[in-house]
Structure 1
Amino acid sequence: MIVYHGSIRKFDRFTNESVVQHLRNDINTLGLWFTSNLEAAKPFAIGTESVIEKSATEFWEDGEPKVVQVERPVRGFIYKVYVDEPNLKEYQSNTGDSFDLFMRERDKYCDYLGSHKKNLTWKDGAILLNEAEANSAFRKHLINQGYSGFILRETQQFNNITDLVCLFSTGSLQIAEIMPLDGFPPS
């Protein structure tokens, strides 16, 4: 299976430390996330990084520039990755909302804080109190069923419809190609 991963960082192998992901709904810590098409991975390769530099506009009394922290835009990399036949739980909906199917199953492990209802879900916009524990329990539940991850079929990501793949281990991942985002025309 070929999948794509967008990152502002460059690395030569996937590890839990090398991959920083920014996904909605507190699902970052479930595993490593990939898309089925290159276009859907591009937004994940665009971001900012904090850098320390000498200021061009702020100076000390003696004329020396101050050292300031600034956010610098970064255009990172798209990783084309080969995954050796993973056993994935498949979420697919004939209504086109496989993300909802997945989130409802994960909700069994979530404790939400909110003031309106007793049985809150991810759709209520409540605060998830146990992200790491909930994701760990959900991952363990799927691993106990023999799965090495899951796939969300035909999911909306930014302006793309893609399959989202979440893998629990880096063991079967092989980077086939690292493509600088600057090498692509703007989307």
Structure 2
Amino acid sequence: MIAYFGTMNKIEDFTSEEKVQNVNNIIGTIGFWLTSDIHSAKRYAIGTETIFQKSETEFWEDGKPKVIQVDKLITGFIYKIFIDDPNLKIYDSNTMDSYDLFMNDRDKYCEYFHARKRNFTWKDEATLLNMEEANEKFRNSLIRQGYEGFVIQNCKLPNGVTDLYCLFSIKSPLISDIIPVETL
């Protein structure tokens, strides 16, 4: 399988849990997110990092610059990788959005809080109370079924349609290219 992995930092070892991707927090902790399209992977390699720096406009009474918090734009890298074909659960539908199928499947493990109604789902924009736990239970359920991840086929992203992969681990990928995002 050929896939593209967008990350904000260079990665030395894919076996580490330390991956920095710009993925929606609600689903980001499920696994490594990859795409079948290089341009779709770009969104996972661009984000912000909070840094502290001396202010050029704000000063203390003694004239020393204040230290302020600033969000710095990070443009990372896209890895083109080859992976042995993993056993993936496939989310695909002709009648509804494939992403909806995935989120509905994951919702079984979610606990929401909202003041207006009962039996919330991810579409209600309610507060998810157990993100880490829900993602872990969802991932473990798929692992017990023999899956190494899943694919959301024909997933609609802001910049197009792609197959979106989530792998629970990436074992020994063959990296064929590391592309800085600013060169795309």
On whether the aligned pair clears a TM of 0.5, the verdict is yes
C-alpha separation in 2, matches of 1:86 and 1:19: 22
Do the aligned partners of 2:22 and 2:43 also contact (CA within 8 Å) in 1?
no
Matched-pair contact (CA < 8 Å) for 2:22–2:46: no
1:141 equivalent to 2:138? Answer: no
Q: Percent identity?
A: 52
Structure 1 regions of 5+ residues with no counterpart? none
Work out the CA distance in 2 between the residues paired with 1:125 and 1:60: 42
Gaps spanning 5+ residues in structure 2: where?
Answer: none
Shift of 1:172: 4.3
Count of aligned positions: 183
Task: State the TM-score, normalizing by the size of structure 2.
Answer: 0.90
Query: Any idea what SS the aligned residue of 1:27 has?
Result: helix
Match of 1:47 in 2: 47
What SS does the corresponding residue of 1:142 show, helix, strand or coil?
Answer: helix
Quote the residue 2:28 is aligned against. Answer: 28
Cα-to-partner distance string for 1:22-76 (whole Å, 9 max, x where unaligned): 216x111111111110011112222222222232223344544333332222221
Partner of 2:97: 97
Letter in 2 for 1:31: G
1: CA distance between counterparts of 2:113 and 2:78? Answer: 36
Q: Residue 100 of structure 1: CA displacement?
A: 0.7
User: For 1:9, what is the secondary structure of its paired residue?
Assistant: coil
Q: Deviations over 1:100-148 (max 9, x none)?
A: 1111111111111123332211111111111111111111111111110
Give the RMSD, CA atoms, in angstroms: 1.8
Cα distance in 2, alignment partners of residues 130 and 37 from structure 1: 31
Return the alpha-carbon distance in structure 1 between the equivalents of residues 167 and 83 of structure 2.
Answer: 9
- Contact preservation (8 Å) 1:12, 1:175: no
Q: 1:162 to 1:59 in 2, by over 3 A?
A: same
The match for 1:10 is 10
- C-alpha change, 1:129 and 1:62, in structure 2 (3 Å) is closer
